[in-house]
Each structure stands twice: as structure tokens, then as C-alpha cells.
């Protein structure tokens, strides 16, 4: 069965430090990959996506992610954390476009 694993339900970083949020998928067929951000009491906002082409994908707010097929990973990074980055982050995969699988989420705390 397809699944998405986000290692680390909580991640804390200092302001200005590197942000690394991990996501791994389990399937033999590479899916379409997405990262979403959720602020309190709001829906999910797309950060970035990987479909085909360049494996390093740049998204909004300075985030980027790299698709590594050999590692079945799609980790999210940002060189320098900002206080406004504090939120819940979800990795998601899709194979057909009508069925999405979400990870359990990672709560990012930014320490001033």
C-alpha cells in the first residue's frame, strides 16, 4: 500500500538556521509529490510540487525540496528559518490525481 512517512512530528530550529523536514514515500512507482503548509485554523496552502523534470524544486517563501528516487524521499528545506515559518507542514503524494495520501505532519517551531 502506498504511504507517506514524515519523520519527526515536531521540529524546532532557531531563527536563521536551516530547516529540514523529512518525507519518504513507499511505492515502486514514483508519485507526484507535494508539500503543503497549514497555519492555525486554516486550510492547506501549496508550498511546492514535483511532477517531472528537475528534481530540485523551488517553492514559495524560500522553500525548496529535492526528489531523490533512489532514497524515495522528498525532503523540504529552507536555508534560513523565519519566525513566520512556524506552522504545520504536510507531505503528500498522488498517483492518479484523484487520490492523495498525506503524511502525519510536522510541526515546525522557530525559536527567536
Interacting residue with other proteins among 26, 104, 109, 111 (CB under 8 A):
104
Of 7-66, binders to other proteins (CB under 8 A) are 9, 32, 34, 36, 41-46, 49, 51-52
> How many residues in the chain?
112
Can residue 89 be called a binding residue for other proteins (CB under 8 A)? no
**Residue number with CB closer to other proteins (8 or 79):** 8
| Binding residues with other proteins: total (CB under 8 A) | 26
Do 109 and 10 meet the contact criterion of CB atoms below 8 Å apart?
yes
**Interface region with other proteins, contact rule CB under 8 A, candidates 20-28, 66-74, 77-85, 100-108:** 100-108
Rounded to whole angstroms, what are the CA distances from 37 to 1, 53, 58, 71, 94?
25, 23, 14, 23, 17
Based on DSSP, count helices (H) and strands (E) in the chain, helices before strands.
0, 12
**Cβ proximity to other proteins, 9 vs 80, nearer residue:** 9
Contact 30, 69 (CB under 8 A): yes
List CB contacts of 62: < 8 A, sequence separation 6 or more: 78, 79, 80, 82
Contacting residues toward other proteins, per CB under 8 A:
9, 32, 34, 36, 41-46, 49, 51-52, 88, 90, 92, 94, 96-98, 100, 102-105, 107
Amino acid at each position: 500500500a502506498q504511504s507517506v512517512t514524515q519523520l519527526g512530528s515536531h521540529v524546532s530550529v532557531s531563527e536563521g538556521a536551516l530547516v529540514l523536514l523529512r518525507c519518504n514515500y513507499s511505492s515502486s512507482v514514483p508519485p507526484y509529490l507535494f508539500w503543503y503548509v497549514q497555519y492555525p485554523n486554516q486550510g492547506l496552502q501549496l508550498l511546492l510540487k514535483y511532477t517531472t523534470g528537475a528534481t530540485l524544486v523551488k517553492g514559495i517563501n524560500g522553500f525548496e525540496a529535492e526528489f531523490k528516487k533512489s532514497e524515495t524521499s522528498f525532503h523540504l528545506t529552507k536555508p534560513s528559518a523565519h519566525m513566520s515559518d512556524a506552522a504545520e507542514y504536510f507531505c503528500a503524494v498522488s498517483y492518479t490525481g484523484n487520490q492523495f495520501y498525506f503524511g502525519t505532519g510536522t510541526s515546525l517551531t522557530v525559536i527567536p
